Amino acid sequence: MGGDSSNTREGSVATGRGGARVLSVVNQKGGCGKTTTTVNLAGALSVEGARVLVIDIDPQAHATLALGIDPDELSESLLELLSDPHGPKDLQQILIQASSGIDLAPASLALSALEHGVSFKQTTARTGRLKSLIDSLPHLYDFVLVDCPPALNLLTLNALRASTDVIVPLEASFFAVDGVQKLLEAIGHLEERIGRSLNARVLPTLFDARTRYARETLRDIRALFNEQCFETVIRQNVKLQEAARHGLPIHYYAPSTPGAEDYASAALEVATGRPPDLSNRNPLMQNGEIKAVPEREVLIQFQDERAGDVRVAGDFNGWVPDKNVASHVEVKGPSRILTKILRLAPGTYQYRCVIDGEWCIDPGNPDSVAGPMGHPNSVLHVR
Ligand SMILES: Nc1ncnc2c1ncn2[C@@H]1O[C@H](COP(=O)(O)OP(=O)(O)OP(=O)(O)O)[C@@H](O)[C@H]1O
Ligand SMILES: [Mg+2]
């Protein structure tokens, strides 16, 4: 993590003059739920009566959009504040109130010009600019949440330097863990340089409660990060996507949904510093353990003339061929019937087959959809 030319130590607390907690939502991996977490944590804190400011420092401007503001219609954004010597001088000049009542320092797509610090205002150390802007805010906010881009660049460093706390959303799939360990190391180096803790904690997101694979992964994440991991787990919930499309945090769009429940729990954890009693609040948990969802045995059969190798991979096993899948072969004359046995909770799943090393849809299943990677996936409905 380079680019910070300043070595100034900043004392033990980084609150602005008003004493706001400043939480940056950071992970260099794209699509792990940073913006969703920023916006919905802001919503959950604000419905509880907290005064909340969201700062969108990501040139994609997704948090700006998810709070119902069109970045193309703005005359001023963080860009002018961070780079234009003749532009606005303080954060308050660019704030807009979103319809949910949350204040927003919006991003514009042109913020990307600042990613490498080309035209940062030279008035403060390049990574200390956002901190000095937040520090000079009057006492208006209890929480400031900063949505970061999927990179450890100068914009993210500005957010980290301004933070009292860091939230690292981690998609509950083990492939994503490596990058988070590196990020936590980088944050550790920054903490040494600035002489205070940034209280970085991992928030498991996009958890698919139906699959044993996801439950195992979550257990591994907890074992690895220990008390650096939130007790709260954010489940997959399509209402979170819908809410973003409507420009509202989930608490203002669909308050009685798992998404609202999970972000309320995360907000409580953030606000009190203590894990909420999830055994009562969260239907996923039972006596501090993740509750198993009732599963059914599901059979996928292949009839094959040849002795080919067939494996299955899907969202139920983290797309790892044959993980958590049992196989049974029956020979009937020249033909061979291969049965794949899975245990799955009710729901709809996507999967592909790996036949002699080649990935393809299930030749015996006519039901398929375009998957997130662009190619078709077979669909499995478990009732
Ligand atoms: N818990 C969830 N349930 C369902 N969908 C979710 C959930 N969390 C995030 N998503 C969806 O996943 C996608 C990526 O989420 P989001 O934009 O929050 O990630 P991000 O880390 O901010 O991405 P980027 O790195 O591009 O900024 C979005 O379409 C979002 O609506
Ligand atoms: Mg984002």
Domain termination site, one of 290, 325, 353: 290
- Domain CATH code at residue 76: 3.40.50.300
Report which protein residue has its CA nearest ligand 1's atom 3: 236
| Ligand with the closest atom to the CA of 32 | 1
Predicted pLDDT of residue 291: 56
Report which protein residue has its CA nearest ligand 1's atom 15: 33
Domain termination site, one of 226, 256, 290: 290
As a whole number of angstroms, the distance between CA 217 and CA 80 comes to 43
Residues 28 and 214: beta-carbon distance below 8 Å? no
Neighbours of 150 (CB within 10 A): 17
On whether both 253 and 307 belong to a single domain, the answer is no
On whether both 131 and 279 belong to a single domain, the answer is yes
Tokens of 242: 């819908």
The structural domain count of the chain equals 2
On whether both 122 and 27 belong to a single domain, the answer is yes
Ligand 1 centre from 250 Cα, in Å?
A: 13
Predicted pLDDT of residue 351: 92
On whether both 43 and 143 belong to a single domain, the answer is yes
Predicted pLDDT of residue 9: 38
User: Between helices 177-194 and 154-162, what is the axis angle to 10°?
Assistant: 60
| Residue 171: domain span | 21-290
Ligand 2 centre from 38 Cα, in Å?
A: 9
As a whole number of angstroms, the distance between CA 217 and CA 325 comes to 16
Residue 244 near ligand 1, beta carbon < 6 Å = yes
Predicted pLDDT of residue 2: 38
Q: Is residue 9 part of a domain?
A: no
Q: Is 190 exposed, middle or buried (0-12, 13-18, 19+ CB in 10 A)?
A: buried
Q: Is residue 14 part of a domain?
A: no
On whether both 279 and 322 belong to a single domain, the answer is no
Residue 222 near ligand 1, beta carbon < 6 Å = no
Residue 206 near ligand 1, beta carbon < 6 Å = yes
Predicted pLDDT of residue 57: 94
As a whole number of angstroms, the distance between CA 26 and CA 33 comes to 10
Q: Is residue 239 part of a domain?
A: yes
- Domain CATH code at residue 369: 2.60.40.10
On whether both 246 and 327 belong to a single domain, the answer is no
Tokens of 36: 């969703």
- DSSP structure string for 196-231: S---EEEEEESB-TT-HHHHHHHHHHHHHHGGGB-S
Nearest alpha carbon to residue 365 among 373, 353, 356 = 353
Q: Is residue 301 part of a domain?
A: yes
Predicted pLDDT of residue 83: 74
Residue 203 near ligand 1, beta carbon < 6 Å = no
Q: Is residue 4 part of a domain?
A: no
Q: Is residue 7 part of a domain?
A: no
Predicted pLDDT of residue 3: 38
Predicted pLDDT of residue 60: 92
What are 184-202's pLDDT values in tens digits? 999 999 999 999 999 999 9
As a whole number of angstroms, the distance between CA 39 and CA 66 comes to 7
Predicted pLDDT of residue 118: 52
**With a cut of 50, which residues of the chain have pLDDT below it?**
1-18, 123, 279-281, 283
Predicted pLDDT of residue 127: 83
Predicted pLDDT of residue 201: 96
On whether both 108 and 71 belong to a single domain, the answer is yes
Q: b vs e for 216-241, b when ≥16 Cβ sit within 10 Å of the residue's Cβ?
A: bbbeebbeebeeebbbbbbbbbeebe
Which atom number of ligand 1 is nearest to the Cα of residue 27? 21
Residue type, 362: D
Residue 30 near ligand 1, beta carbon < 6 Å = yes
Predicted pLDDT of residue 345: 83
On whether both 219 and 358 belong to a single domain, the answer is no
Helix (H, G, I), strand (E, B) or coil at 329: strand
Q: Is 8 exposed, middle or buried (0-12, 13-18, 19+ CB in 10 A)?
A: exposed
Residues 107 and 63: beta-carbon distance below 8 Å? yes
Residues 335 and 287: beta-carbon distance below 8 Å? no
On whether both 267 and 148 belong to a single domain, the answer is yes
Q: Best of 24, 25, 28, 36 to mutate for ligand 1, by most ligand atoms within 8 A of CB?
A: 36
Predicted pLDDT of residue 289: 54
Q: Is residue 5 part of a domain?
A: no
Domain termination site, one of 290, 321, 340: 290
Which atom number of ligand 1 is nearest to the Cα of residue 241? 31
* The model's pTM: 0.76
On whether both 93 and 121 belong to a single domain, the answer is yes
What are 26-81's pLDDT values in tens digits? 999 999 999 999 999 999 999 888 999 999 999 999 999 999 999 888 887 887 77
On whether both 301 and 219 belong to a single domain, the answer is no
Ligand 1 centre from 10 Cα, in Å?
A: 33
Q: Is residue 83 part of a domain?
A: yes
On whether both 224 and 304 belong to a single domain, the answer is no
Residues 6+ apart with CB under 8 A from 10: 131, 194, 195, 196
Predicted pLDDT of residue 6: 37
Going edge to edge, which strands form the sheet with 143-147?
96-97, 103-105, 52-56, 143-147, 21-25, 165-171, 200-205
H-helix or E-strand spanning residue 338: strand 335-344
